[in-house]
Structure 1
Amino acid sequence: MDRHKELTAAKLPDDLVVDILSRLEYKDFCRGKCAYKAWPAFSSDPDYCKKLPNKVTPGLLFQGRNKSAIPLVSLFQHIGEIDGILADVPHYEHLELLECCNGLVLCKYSSSYTTPGICCFVVCNPATRQWRIIPDTHSKTDDPRYVTILAFDPSWSPQFYIFNFHLEHIHGLILGTSKLEIFWSGSSTWLVDDTWDCDISVSHRSHIFLHGILYAETTGQVVLLEGLEEMSDGTLPYHWIIDMPSDSFYVGTFTHGCLGKSSGKLHYALPDDDGRSIVVWTLDEYAYGLWTWVVKCHLSMADAFGRDDFIHYDNGGEDGEGNWFWNCDLLDYRSRLGERPRFPL
């Protein structure tokens, strides 16, 4: 550091230095404390520490079935549970947790202050205590015929997206998707895409947002939505379908897999049909617009849980044929032990 600048900064009053440091992000503040020996002492001063940036506590947001308050359970044992993490959001006592994506939280609320039959969405950032109320879009949001997904990837865009799928519902059966409503945070309106094939049934199960593309699981397939960057011109994104790995169809009829991302690629994980490992596929593009699933690895269940015999087939059918029903007693195994399974690091 230049000697003249060092002397000038050393002459600044402490109150002014604290005011400057308070405007930094926590990571930048930690770096700035290394510039002068006196600056780290500000963090232990009871008057100054309240003004300085605080470390964001990583944790798990959850809500009970009774739609109670949404606390944050810290990942650090000495901190425990933090109540009121979203207490600054309007109608906090009526919030229902829907989705989380890369630090943003999607909630809905309804109360005596809102129009009957209308449920409002709000997107919150628990780290900064900022929130944004989303314009109303439809009524009866509590109806199971709607699947709502939040998508946010700060490495791709500072904007977030909300996808609201309307499912075709006849005589209690969900037959497909009738239309899709999309909200983009760069505007204050919803765009409506009513060109969806009624055979596509987007589920509440696994989905992921990667490189500006939404991957949402359906029955035996994954639907992709891309072209979101064109929404600033009012252009709707387009969607298309890829099949799940062909060797996952049998087990996939009995249990659900999980979509994830690693090394910038989409992955899909599902228990193997022998019950002794978890198969992980990666989605690779072998030609323009053509994709294929490639087996990435097998994760040993014995290494993760200490045993691999808690997944089995039940006999059934009219003739008592074997391999009729694929069953898993993992939860029962955990409850008998009274402890959580230990995973290798």
Structure 2
Amino acid sequence: MSKLPQDIIVDILTYLPVKSLVRFKCVCKPWQLLISDPRFVKLHLKRAIEGNNINRQRLLVAAEPLYSSVDFEAASDGDGINAVMELPYPSAASRTESFAFASIRGSCDGLVCIRNGGDVHDMFLWNPSTRESKKLPKPSSSVQKHGFLTGLGYDSTIDDYKLVIACLTTANGSHQIMAPEVFTLKTNSWRRIQGIHSGITLEGGAGVFWNGALHWLGKQETGADHDVDVIFSLDVAQEKFMGFVPLPNHFCTAVLSISGNCLCIFGKLHPDESYFEAWITSEYGVKTSWRRRYAIPFDRLYMDYFSTEMCLTKKGVLMDHHGCPGTLQLYDPVEDATKLLRVKNNRDPMYDSAVYTESLVSLR
């Protein structure tokens, strides 16, 4: 390797998984400096997400034992033994704290935001690939334990990561984005941003970061028999809530996710439909860019009415749902076959999960 030009060495290393690169830091001082260099970290991340590369995507499951990183491509290839891996306890959280009600409040570039226990203000950032974690200061606003939204995104204009948190309802029960705050990693502090009376009922939970914005599912009030399902978004750089985009069809129990560099929607179109569908788009705001990827007979799925996370694999769809707690389902539409993966969980059967990309992104 020492005889290879430096640019070729760098190019080779950017295609390797994080686990290998962490070990390679011990090879020699030059490699340790190279792999820790922010420019290398960005190039490695770019290689991971460009061209719909889903080989470095993992599913993080907030269960007990603490967390399991699910390699759904290994599962897709039939390697069920190595598909589920237990992860060590994040150092930012005390071992005396309970993770029985832990929830994942956002995911971006390999970083995830975790809300620990029942305290809505007790949150930390964690990179499951490098094991680095950081406890967050409490936001100044009084956010309710229920009825709030969050999202983790990247601002390319200042090269910084931002976490957004806001209430969804007022004291009289009206739907309004109240007292939104943004946390920036570099400043390690919170500040208020402008809220908006959206006229849209948002579902709350963690937003999906894609193309420079955070996205949440919601419903536009129309006064008709049923509301229209929409995607509502916030521009991370401008820190402003933007307009909404209708979904390609009216969904029931829809789930928003990311696969490679595409935005995905999963769900039933109507309560009386017998098919579960997966739609993807690579152009936000262009309704005609949505295309249906899969239509799966509902009787092939071990599903209830709610799914916490879904993602596309090379061979099908991976679903983590509340219908069968502790069970991940991989459906291959070509073979019309279903594989079940069990995730050990010794506590609350209802757990959170989120897709993340393996990365070297640092919290320092």
* The one of 196, 212, 225 aligned to 2:234: 225
**Equivalent position of 1:38 in the other structure:** none
The 1:118/1:260 distance shift into structure 2, 3 A limit, reads closer
| Distance in 1 (alpha carbons) for counterparts of 2:320 and 2:129 | 33
State the SS of the aligned residue for 2:150.
strand
| Distance in 2 (alpha carbons) for counterparts of 1:339 and 1:73 | 12
**Equivalent position of 2:287 in the other structure:** 292
> Contact between 1:277 and 1:298, CA under 8 Å: does it hold in 2?
no
State the SS of the aligned residue for 2:244.
strand
Q: Deviations over 1:230-249 (max 9, x none)?
A: 5xxxxxx222222423x623
**% of aligned pairs identical?**
13
Structure 1: gaps of 5 or more residues: 6-16, 29-56, 112-116, 231-236, 312-329
Structure 2: gaps of 5 or more residues: 6-25, 41-55, 75-79, 220-228, 305-318, 335-364
* The one of 95, 105, 115 aligned to 2:112: 105
**Equivalent position of 1:233 in the other structure:** none
> Contact between 2:262 and 2:280, CA under 8 Å: does it hold in 1?
no
* 1:104 to partner: Cα distance: 1.3
> Contact between 1:86 and 1:124, CA under 8 Å: does it hold in 2?
no
Query: What count of residue pairs does the alignment treat as equivalent?
Result: 255
Q: Deviations over 1:300-328 (max 9, x none)?
A: 324xx7859x99xxxxxxxxxxxxxxxxx
The 1:90/1:73 distance shift into structure 2, 3 A limit, reads closer
**Equivalent position of 1:88 in the other structure:** 91
**Equivalent position of 2:124 in the other structure:** 122
State the SS of the aligned residue for 1:248.
coil
The 1:200/1:191 distance shift into structure 2, 3 A limit, reads farther
> Contact between 1:181 and 1:192, CA under 8 Å: does it hold in 2?
yes
| Distance in 1 (alpha carbons) for counterparts of 2:117 and 2:253 | 32
- The equivalences for 1:271-310 within 5 A come to 271-273=268-270, 274-276=273-275, 278=277, 280=279, 282=281, 284=283, 291-297=286-292, 299-302=294-297
Q: Deviations over 1:109-153 (max 9, x none)?
A: 479xxxxx8833211112222222222114665610322222258
* 1:164 to partner: Cα distance: 0.2
The 1:339/1:160 distance shift into structure 2, 3 A limit, reads closer
- The equivalences for 1:121-200 within 5 A come to 121-138=123-140, 143-152=145-154, 159-170=160-171, 173=173, 175-197=175-197, 199-200=199-200
| Distance in 1 (alpha carbons) for counterparts of 2:27 and 2:2 | 21
* 1:181 to partner: Cα distance: 0.9
* 1:272 to partner: Cα distance: 3.8
User: What RMSD in Å do the two structures reach over aligned CA positions?
Assistant: 4.6
State the SS of the aligned residue for 2:331.
coil
The 1:199/1:85 distance shift into structure 2, 3 A limit, reads same
> Contact between 1:177 and 1:201, CA under 8 Å: does it hold in 2?
no
> Contact between 1:97 and 1:105, CA under 8 Å: does it hold in 2?
no
- The equivalences for 1:14-93 within 5 A come to 18-20=27-29, 23=32, 25=35, 60-64=59-63, 70-75=66-71, 77-79=80-82, 82-83=85-86, 85-93=88-96
TM-score (norm: length of structure 1): 0.57
The 1:225/1:86 distance shift into structure 2, 3 A limit, reads same
Matching residue's letter, 1:86: Y
> Contact between 1:72 and 1:85, CA under 8 Å: does it hold in 2?
no
The 1:202/1:193 distance shift into structure 2, 3 A limit, reads farther
Where relative contact order (Cα < 8 A, 6+ residues apart) is larger, the structure is 2
Structure with higher Rg: it is 1
> Contact between 1:169 and 1:175, CA under 8 Å: does it hold in 2?
yes
The 1:79/1:135 distance shift into structure 2, 3 A limit, reads same
Q: Deviations over 1:63-99 (max 9, x none)?
A: 34xxx55222453644576555234224244253323
| Distance in 1 (alpha carbons) for counterparts of 2:128 and 2:144 | 24
The 1:82/1:169 distance shift into structure 2, 3 A limit, reads same
| Distance in 2 (alpha carbons) for counterparts of 1:167 and 1:343 | 38
| Distance in 1 (alpha carbons) for counterparts of 2:194 and 2:290 | 36
> Contact between 1:119 and 1:139, CA under 8 Å: does it hold in 2?
no
* 1:182 to partner: Cα distance: 1.1
TM-score (norm: length of structure 2): 0.54
